[in-house]
Amino acid sequence: MSRLPRRLSLFGVVAGLLLCTPALATPTREEIDRSVALREDWQYLTREIAWPAHWTPDSSAFTYRKTVAGGFAFETVDAATLTKSPAFDHQRLADELTRALGRPVQPLRLPFAEFDYTENRQTIAFGLDERGWRCTLVDYRCEAQAEPGRPRGFGVVRDLSVPADNHPRLSPDGSREALIEGDNLVVRRKGGADPVRLSMDGSAGDFYDPETIAWSPDGRYLMIYRVRPGYARHVLRVEAAPDGQLQPALRSQLYPKPGDAVDIEQPVLFDVATGRQTIIDPALFPNAYELSAPRWRPDGRSVAFDYVRRGFGQARIVAVDAATGKAHAAVTEDARTIVYADRRFARELGSSGNEIVWASERDGWNHLYLIDGRSGRVKNRITTGDWVVREVLKVDEDQRRIWFAASGMTAGEDPYFRHYYRVDFDGRNLVALTPEKADHAASLSPDGRLLVDTYSRVDLPTVSVLRRAADGTAIATVTKGDVTRLAAAGFRPPEVFTAKGRDGRTDIWGLVVRPRDYDPAKKYPVIENIYAGPHDSFVPKQFWPFGYHSGGDKVIGMQALADLGFIVVQIDGMGTANRSKAFQDVAWKNLQDSGFPDRIAWHKAMAARDPAYDISRVGIYGASAGGQSTLNALLFHGDFYKAGVAMAGCYDNRMDKISWNEQWLGWPVDASYAAASGVDHAGLLNGKLFLIVGEQDSNVDPASTMQVVDALIKADKDFDLLVVPGGEHSVGRSSGPIDYVTRRQFDFFVRVLQ
């Protein structure tokens, strides 16, 4: 028998192997459009999925939003009788919001997810379009609330183009008022008689800020901050196609960046009767990133404020004796790396603040301590263990008891699941209140008697239960989610998967979403949805698959992409929050890491388990900090990640907002900023890149994207770019029947990975 030529023989073997693995059909434009519309098609198919409850101030009732046919409805429950009723007239409220907003509002799709009753349930208050709103329920009139006071760029630089709120501040007995005249502090009788100037050293460059005036409870003293203004950096953006006009428009935004000079606030104490001025010694609060507003203790003998040092290595409460003006550190938190400023918790107790409940990571886990407010020393630990306190609901001084949320305490569970507990100040009598194996979000009644516990998992629809706050005893089931219609439409919960991280010991948790027509005999490209910011964890733990918050795509968005012939995953690698401090500290001065060694190990473990998981074709996408991580995947791990869609990214942390970046990379600006820069490392690009940015991004300076573009061009690197005129930071994460940006993202992955 004659033998085939060697080349033909090898070709036949390869062809045979290819024929043994069924090929994936390339999706059509119609199929891509259908996938983009999946969220809109599915999100109204559930019933009785409830959001966390809000209590009325008198503890007599609670409210929540839940899913109903056609959308969402708000419901109020009487806590005593459990009688349910509509929270308000949805149609009348929708009609009024249509008028007030100038755009159509549907009664079952109101543009807010939570509200609070005020004025004996005659008014509701909620947030909308980054503003506070109030609507009366008597005549159904709505209005946006004016922002009080002078704006500050990311909280640290005052906008001096806007006048400060200089209305007279009344003394506690109502007889006198304090205000600013000519940059100095003045006290006068109510109505304006007999003005007395207390300060003489204020000037335009070192002024007394009326918005920081604080009277002591007995009216004897005033504390106020004298302010030396920081650098008022403005980001300028051109809006190329503004609505209603032909010509472009120039937009300006106060936008401090890392390293910029912030406002320097000097606390000054005045004895109103004698006029004595005491400038508080700044030795205990040097180089402040920010000071909180001064707050007087109830006994009027001292005033306190919170301090965070520039670089976020120290936080403390500084207390000032009213009689002497002498300051002392009531409590201090030091860290070799960072004090996570946004997760600080402090509650000063009693009339003089002699005890403080304080959250600290000093032992490597976020826990509660009872602090002696006079010496700053620890009186006793309240919580302890290899787990994390996530939230404090209530501190009851009379019972000396605390209600709090924690994760990681229950062995054998997902360490991110939140459960609720109560504990005494001395650390004894720890009681678990929410036993179900799920992620819990609880609301405690103001009187501390009842708890509304709303819990779920990605595979368990939401259940809401009314419990006794003392011991967690269930009183009644309030709502129980029904996903029958959603399941009938094809929804299947994502798979939870864990694998060991870079150290070979730490569990890394993630989700896997497969196509609805998944065939284990086929090979599927893999796409990772990434958000790796150190400020939180991002893999969903709750059921609602359409997403509660931004900061990472939703399960349904992942499903829509998967249905085009991909396996889509989301992972929380090291460098994110809600585990140990060491787990989060991986990101400190190391934002380019983004947990990639853990993520790649997780991918490889998944591929070893599932032959359909094609680890040779891995893509990645993300927005904001996830956009930065996406670009860094292709710069620093281009041998593993083959394609990425990076949206609205902060690609060079020196270009981004001061608050987020100095928290993680520190101050002063050093080499760690350059190490994470996608601009400085653009020449390392390996793989296919699609950059998307909103022209009017007010969160991340859009020039950050264009600087990457400039660097890529100089490096002779090919890439795709989409600039959305008028687009904000949420570009690429909006939803609708057909979303252009999402369609372009899906089309890109189909083109480059299939």
| pLDDT tens, residue by residue, 209-241 | 999 999 999 999 999 999 999 999 999 999 999
Answer whether residue 549 shows pLDDT above 80.
no
Under DSSP, is residue 452 helix (H, G, I), strand (E, B) or coil?
strand
Mean pLDDT of 160-186: 97
H helix intervals, 563-656: 581-585, 596-609, 625-636
Q: What is the pLDDT of residue 236?
A: 97
Q: What is the pLDDT of residue 24?
A: 79
Q: What's the per-residue H, E or C state across 512-565? A: EECCCCCCCCCCEEEEEECCCCCCCCCCCCCCCCCCCCCCCCCHHHHHHHHCCC
Q: How many CB atoms lie within 10 A of CB 276?
A: 12
Mean pLDDT of 427-455: 98
Q: What angle do CA 682, 573, 413 make, to 5 degrees?
A: 165
- At how many degrees (to 10) do helices 740-753 and 555-562 cross? 50
So where are the chain's domains?
34-43+485-753, 54-146, 148-279
Answer whether residue 316 shows pLDDT above 80.
yes
Q: What angle do CA 440, 441, 442 make, to 5 degrees?
A: 110
Q: What gap in Å lies between CA 98 and CA 114, rounded to an integer? A: 18
Answer whether residue 673 shows pLDDT above 50.
yes
The H or E element spanning position 593 is none
Query: Does the N-terminal peptide bond of residue 668 adopt cis geometry, omega within 30 degrees of 0?
Result: yes
Answer whether residue 82 shows pLDDT above 80.
yes
> Lowest mean pLDDT: which of 35-39, 59-63, 249-253?
35-39
Please give the DSSP secondary-structure letter assigned to residue 50.
B
More confidently predicted of 240 and 2: 240
Extract the tokens encoding 403: 């209600």
Q: Where does residue 262 rank: exposed (0-12), middle (13-18), buried (19+ CB within 10 A)?
A: buried
Q: How confident is the model at residue 63 (pLDDT cuts 50, 70, 90)?
A: very high
Q: 34-43+485-753, which class in CATH?
A: alpha beta
> Lowest mean pLDDT: which of 14-28, 51-65, 105-119?
14-28
Average pLDDT across the chain, whole number:
94
Answer whether residue 194 shows pLDDT above 90.
yes
Mean pLDDT of 619-643: 97
Q: How many CB atoms lie within 10 A of CB 498?
A: 15
Could you give phi then psi for residue 680, rounded to 5 degrees? -65, -25
**DSSP track, 57-116:** TTSSEEEEEEEETTEEEEEEEETTT--EEESS-HHHHHHHHHHHHTS---TTS-S-S--E
Mean pLDDT of 512-532: 97
pLDDT single digits (tens) 101-142: 999 999 999 999 999 999 999 999 999 988 999 999 999 999
Q: How confident is the model at residue 3 (pLDDT cuts 50, 70, 90)?
A: very low
Q: How confident is the model at residue 731 (pLDDT cuts 50, 70, 90)?
A: confident
Q: What is the pLDDT of residue 11?
A: 35
Mean pLDDT of 504-528: 98
Mean pLDDT of 476-500: 98
Q: What is the pLDDT of residue 147?
A: 83
Mean pLDDT of 31-57: 95
Q: How confident is the model at residue 20 (pLDDT cuts 50, 70, 90)?
A: low
Q: What gap in Å lies between CA 712 and CA 678, rounded to an integer? A: 10
Q: How confident is the model at residue 202 (pLDDT cuts 50, 70, 90)?
A: very high
Q: What is the pLDDT of residue 547?
A: 75
- At how many degrees (to 10) do helices 740-753 and 29-36 cross? 130
Answer whether residue 148 shows pLDDT above 90.
no
Mean pLDDT of 273-299: 98
Q: Would the CA dihedral through 633, 634, 640, 642 be positive or negative?
A: positive
DSSP β-ladder status, 131-136 and 123-128 = antiparallel
Extract the tokens encoding 448: 């501390």
Chain centre to alpha carbon of residue 581: 18
